[in-house]
C-alpha cells in the first residue's frame, strides 16, 4: 500500500515537465522544483497557526503555499493564478495531497470583494515584479483583505541587484550609498531582468514599504536575502495617509505645488 502510494506519486509527478515548487506529495517523494520552496517558507513570516482563517494565495503556481496554509489549519484556502491548474503542477499535487482548496484561474487585477469576499491572510509571493501595474494589484488586494488582516509579500528587490547598462547585477550602494535610502523601482523593458520577459518592475526595500503604505498596508517588518525580499504587512483603513491619492490628482489644487508657485513668482 505504502509502495503503491509512492509509485503513484512518482508517476504523477513525471507527467508535469516543469515544477517550480518542491512539495512533499507522498512520504519521501518531493516534486523537483527549481525553487528552494522550504527555504522561502522560512523567510516569508507565515503564521504557524491559521486555524479558522480564510487564506488567499495569489500566483499559487504548483500550490506549495496553498497546501501549507491548509496544513496550518486554515478554514478555507483560495488559490488564484492566471494559469489554469493543469498548466502547472497544481492539479497533480492537489490530487495527490487530497487538497480541498478552491482554485480560481483569474488575474490578480480581477479581485473584488463581492465575488471573493475578504481574507484574513493574503499571500502575494513572487508575483508583483511580473506585473505592469503593481500598485493596481495592491489596491485590489486591499479590497479583499479583512480589516487588520495580514498580507505577506515577496518579490525581486533591487537593493542588492540593480541591473546596469551591461546587464550586470550591482548593489544600489555601489552607485551611491544614498540610493538605498531613496524609494526607487527599476523598470525592465524586454527581458532585461535575467533574460525573463515576464519581469516588469522591482522596488528597493524603501519603495516596497512605500508601495505598501500607499495602498493601505502598514509594514510590520521587512526582510531581504540577496536579490529577493519581502514584508509582513497589516491592512489599515484607507484615508489616513493619502493612500491612492494619485487617483484624485484631477481634483488637487495645483497652485499648492512648489513648482507652480516658483514658476508664478518667476514670471
The 3-state secondary structure of the chain reads CHHHHHHHHHHHHHCCCCCCCCCEEECCEECCCCCCHHHHHHHHCCCCCCCCCEEEEECCCCCHHHHHHHHCCCCEEEEEECCCCCCCCHHHHHHHHCCCCEEEECCHHHCCHHHHCCEEEEEEECCHHHCCCHHHHHHHHHHHEEEEEEEEEEEECCCCCEECCCCCEECHHHHCHHHHHCCCEEECCCCCCCCCCCCCEEECHHHHHHHHHHCCEEEEEEEEECCEEEEEEEECCCCCCCCCHHHHHHHCCHHHCHHHHHHHHHC
Binding residue for ligand SAM, selected from 71, 75, 102, 107, defined by CB under 6 A = 107
* Min dist. Cβ of residue 157 to ligand SAM (A): 14
Binding residue for ligand SAM, selected from 12, 25, 59, 67, defined by CB under 6 A = 59
Binding residue for ligand SAM, selected from 30, 43, 82, 224, defined by CB under 6 A = 82
Look up residue 173 and give its three cell numbers.
550602494
Segment interacting with ligand SAM (CB under 6 A) among 79-87, 160-168, 173-181, 186-194: 79-87
Other Cβ atoms closer than 10 A to 152: 20
Binding residue for ligand SAM, selected from 68, 81, 120, 139, defined by CB under 6 A = 81
Whichever of 78 and 108 has its CB closer to ligand SAM, that residue is: 108
Whichever of 20 and 205 has its CB closer to ligand SAM, that residue is: 20
Whichever of 131 and 236 has its CB closer to ligand SAM, that residue is: 131
* Min dist. Cβ of residue 178 to ligand SAM (A): 31
| Among 201, 66, 69, 179, CA closest to 132 | 201
Binding residue for ligand SAM, selected from 26, 56, 77, 108, defined by CB under 6 A = 108
Q: How many residues in the shown chain lie near ligand SAM by CB under 6 A?
A: 15
* Min dist. Cβ of residue 106 to ligand SAM (A): 7
Per-residue x/- marks for ligand SAM, 109-138, CB under 6 A?
----------------xxx--xx-------
* Min dist. Cβ of residue 240 to ligand SAM (A): 28
Whichever of 186 and 200 has its CB closer to ligand SAM, that residue is: 200
Applying CB under 6 A, the residues found at the interface with ligand SAM are 20, 35, 59, 61, 81-83, 107-108, 125-127, 130-131, 154
Amino acid at each position: 500500500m505504502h509502495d503503491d502510494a509512492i509509485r503513484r506519486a512518482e508517476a504523477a509527478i513525471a507527467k508535469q515537465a516543469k515544477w517550480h515548487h518542491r512539495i512533499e506529495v507522498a512520504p519521501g517523494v518531493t516534486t523537483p522544483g527549481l525553487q528552494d520552496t522550504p527555504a522561502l517558507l522560512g523567510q516569508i513570516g507565515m503564521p504557524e497557526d491559521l486555524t479558522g482563517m480564510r487564506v488567499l494565495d495569489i500566483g499559487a503556481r504548483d500550490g506549495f503555499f496553498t497546501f501549507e496554509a491548509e496544513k496550518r489549519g486554515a478554514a478555507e484556502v483560495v488559490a488564484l493564478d492566471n494559469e489554469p491548474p493543469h498548466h502547472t503542477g497544481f492539479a497533480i499535487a492537489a490530487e495527490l495531497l487530497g487538497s480541498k482548496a478552491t482554485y480560481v484561474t483569474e488575474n490578480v487585477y480581477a479581485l473584488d470583494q463581492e465575488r471573493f469576499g475578504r481574507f484574513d491572510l493574503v499571500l502575494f509571493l513572487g508575483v508583483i515584479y511580473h506585473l505592469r501595474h503593481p500598485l493596481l494589484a495592491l489596491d485590489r488586494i486591499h479590497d479583499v483583505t479583512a480589516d487588520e488582516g495580514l498580507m505577506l509579500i515577496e518579490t525581486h528587490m533591487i537593493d542588492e541587484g540593480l541591473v546596469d547598462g551591461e546587464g550586470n547585477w550591482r548593489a544600489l550602494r555601489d552607485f551611491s550609498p544614498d540610493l538605498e535610502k531613496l524609494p526607487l523601482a527599476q523598470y525592465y523593458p524586454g527581458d532585461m531582468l535575467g533574460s525573463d520577459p515576464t519581469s516588469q518592475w522591482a522596488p528597493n526595500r524603501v519603495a516596497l514599504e512605500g508601495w505598501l503604505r500607499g495602498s493601505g498596508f502598514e509594514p510590520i517588518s521587512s526582510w531581504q536575502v540577496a536579490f529577493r525580499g519581502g514584508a509582513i504587512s497589516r491592512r489599515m483603513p484607507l484615508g489616513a495617509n493619502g493612500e491612492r491619492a494619485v487617483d484624485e490628482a484631477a481634483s488637487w489644487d495645483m497652485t499648492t505645488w512648489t513648482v507652480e508657485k516658483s514658476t508664478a513668482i518667476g514670471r
